[in-house]
Structure 1
Amino acid sequence: MNAFEVRADEAQPYRSQGQDWDEARRLSALDSYNVLDTPPEREFDEVVELAAQLCDAPIALVSLLGEDRQFFKAEVGLGLRETPRDVSICAHAILHPGLFVVPDTATDPRFAGNPLVTAAPHIRFYAGALLETEDGLPLGTLCVIDRRPRPEGLAAQQGFALQVLARQVMARLELRRALAAREASERRFRVLADAMPQMVWSTRPDGLHDYYNARWYEFTGVPFGSTDGAGWNGMFHADDQARAWERWRHSLETGEPYEIEYRLRRADGAYRWTLGRAMPVRDAQGRIERWFGTCTDIEDIKATEEKLRLSEERLRLALGAAEMIGTFVWDVPADRITADAGYARMFGQDPAAMATGVPIALLFEAVEPADRDRVRQQIEQAMATGDAFEAEYRVHPPGGETRWVVARGRCAQDAEGRPARFSGAVVDITERKRAEEGQELLAKELSHRIKNIFTVIGGMVSLSASGASAEVKGFAATLRRRLQALARAHDYVRPHNGEAQPAEGGTTLRGLLATLLAPYGAEEAGRMQLGGDDVPVGVKAATSLALILHELATNAAKYGALSRPEGGVAITGERLGERFGLTWQERGGPEVEGPPERRGFGTILAERGAITQLGGTIRQDWAREGLTLRLEVPLARLAY
């Protein structure tokens, strides 16, 4: 037996974070998740991609250790779904609590003879964080692998991030197991709702509340059941109650999603800004059966917004202050830079000395070491080509704080084409950088919370439909698909945390189309053609378009052109002055006998979005050879 091999039949007890365990119990726990040999899933794939990026590693794995093999639920850079257990480094890692790091496998007697080290993929560095159940049973690891040794191991931040991501993997496995269990949907719903960080609630069709999760009672401190019915409105700040009632009545009357910001009273009496949202759940006839909603504490986000506003104000003041801007002239042949007092202060130099000139090497001492080579290369390129010079970098003057600056200039050449005089200006942009960081943090936080809400509502729908009739399950599946279409649209226009970015030039209609229609696989098969003009698409317009296009693609796959191998869809965009036209044309499907006798809820929802949200029009031509749909909307509404 190799030094790192663990035999499953030995059932030897080990210690892991204070818990005794044996191999039989560990394998039983792993089986309960029903995850071995399951296909790849996006949520796990994104974790290994992020782990590889954070740890600067070519390979990252979610490795689950079975009886005689290790199965990779997610992998990047390896190209395998499993390997034998007797060559598994993870089998050794699960015997150690916390983070297990092997700086160089080739010099470690436990692994030097391992075929994964001596042959492909030539593992030289390994770092693994335990995937551990709440009972302390290790299922495997989230690990990163390098083909070169790393004597320094992982940075502290990288190690911390790897362990955090491992806990996220376990959280996803736990959620996956909970959703797969077929028990009383009400009990499972309450378990899921109580585990959510948001306050979750539901109402009857008339809008009267009949359920709150544990988080609601923890936050508000009110007795159980005291806010049922209409009692919830008394929890809001007096100045917000009338507005909250008006918005809620509007949603009840129209069936439109509910969204509002109000101040909610916490258990200690303090009012905190809260984002309230709700979605209706309808039956097959479109009647509202229930409302499910969430309350999310956004007090910290509001505070961040205020800080951002103040930072932007400081930035405006800073840019207007003379000391935040400096000018310079560099006599290249003499290697002397002369500059004004503002430039001297930014680089921590004596203004009198800068007025007479100093060597450029003296100023480079104040440039952040990590930025020096890049700035030198940009300067040399500007000198060689005569092109405009622009560089952002950090300066750390002696005795001062690190500041961000942007330098702009141009190098004039003498009659023989040699660099002669390099002049320009430097602007302190530290406050702008801080404002940008705050804005990005706010955007990521909002994006994360919005995606949480999509997940919560999707989970509620799934659990609520469990054990119901086939008709209700079908409706629930349709609603989940529409939520997924909205989530894909959100991911496209609000990408964060390692997700794919929109194409260069910003969020566009064609990019949104490609993202939403990719699951149907028709574009790759040449059965879905995207052509014509492209236009920018804003966040709100993307939501309405997502519903419309999802409904069209779903109907085409069920009944239209995409239901037959020879069928196809052509989607064409056309600028029409201040308006934009989008044509959806199906051909090659079953012969159309005329308009459908009954319009489905999805079609009604899509048309309402086109007319109400986008201010546009929809026309449908049910020709025998296939449906042609024409959508026209104002360009200004598309970009909103």
Structure 2
Amino acid sequence: MIRSRIGAPIGTMCVLDRTARPEGLTRAQGDTLAALARQISTLVEHRRTLADVDARERELAASERRFRVMTSAMPQMVWTTQPDGFHDFYNDRWYEFTGVPYGSTDGAGWTDMFHPDDQAEAWSRWRHSLATGAPYEVEYRLRHHSGAYRWTLGRAMPIRGADGRIERWFGTCTDIHDLRQAVADARKLAAVVETSKDFIGLATEDGRIAHLNEAALALVGLPDLDAALRTTIADYVTPESREALEGVAMPALDRDGWWEGELAFRHFATGEAIAVLFTVFAVRDAAGRHAGYGTVTRDLRERKRAEEARDLLIKELSHRIKNIFAVVGGIAALSARSDPGARPFAKAFRERLGALAQAHEYVRPHSAGSAPRVGGQTVLGLMRLILSAYAEDGRCRIAVDGDDAVVGERAATALALIMHEQATNAVKYGALSNEAGTVTLTGRRTDSRYRLTWAERGGPPVPSAPTRKGFGTELAERSVTGQLDGILEHDWAPSGLVLRLDVPAETLRF
């Protein structure tokens, strides 16, 4: 029987001899066979040891291959260290991110990859983990292969043996730069929302309030967000505005994705109606699916009060200006009575003053009842009002047509003066000085310019352009350049004068 060193049987040794030995083996022969058995046992154990070592080596190699395959497949940067913190492995993600040569960051070379401002903190936490065995976690800026530093989350856990001692450290680095930037942007946006003076809110798809900022709670008199979460968008408008919300705003929101208009909110505590500019828009998730609604609402009460005060002041000024026109006209009439030689001048002056008064009356603020009487504040509307005085026996001798445009007070006074002078000259010398002549006044608008063309036909022949300009013409040209920033051209055609007034469309609104 052959036994191992610890006495376990591992086999049997058999010796064959050519001669029978009934007397048995001698002592020397027995010792020889025992020595031979021991030698065989030693050889068998040695072979088993070699086989076990080879198996372990193959197992270690396979385990290392599995480890490298696994770490190469991971999206994070993976690294390992010896128990003392000496870095001895990085996966491909590390080298792809940093762009450094393979092996160049082994040992302590990894610390040079951190932003200088982050190195002290990273080292401090790493030393603490090595000393205590506590998990390692820190955020730092890691140098990217582009040269920029990107925020990274570094983590490591100790791997312990059966006796509890740390055998290795296994760590990862995760690029969190975009996430960190998104969080910072979200915090900024949240700060803007919460500090905004406007009503800002979010609602779910069914219209229930999901969030309101502090300004929103204060505007409608709600005590806190919990109270707001029990309401819907419809709860905030007055009964008079609910029809506009449900019949106009929501259909437009479903169709166009947003709506803006004036509504009246109600104060939950006092019942006060609050004039607001209400904006509502659809909110969608990252996949483009409808996720609810956002609202931005501005309190219009101060603006409404300011508008009312302004309108009252403008009406008062308009009334006083109208009185001034009347007083100045009266003074001119008195001057004409006392001085017959001044009558022609006084008559022309009063007519010009009357044209300006008509223009002022046309663009001044009116009540709801008087607005239809003046026909609206447009260029062609003003022209028809001023030139209606030149109709004869119900026959309109000046035809007004073409593109229209909104007109403001300053532009209206200049246009009224120019067209009054032109009509006066036409009555004296041009197409309106006989019974057959006519005038067409045409408006044409482009993207940035507006042109009025005055064309006379059927009047006395025009021999040539006048050699000097009268006071009225000078006054009209100065009004065009000074008040309208425009151009006034006269074409003295034999068939009749053609006047072209070209101004920036923007100046007409003032």
- Which is richer in helix? 2
Which one has a bigger Cα radius of gyration? 2
TM-score (norm 2): 0.50
TM-score (norm 1): 0.41
Flag the structure with more relative contact order, 1 or 2, with Cα contacts below 8 A and sequence separation at least 6.
1
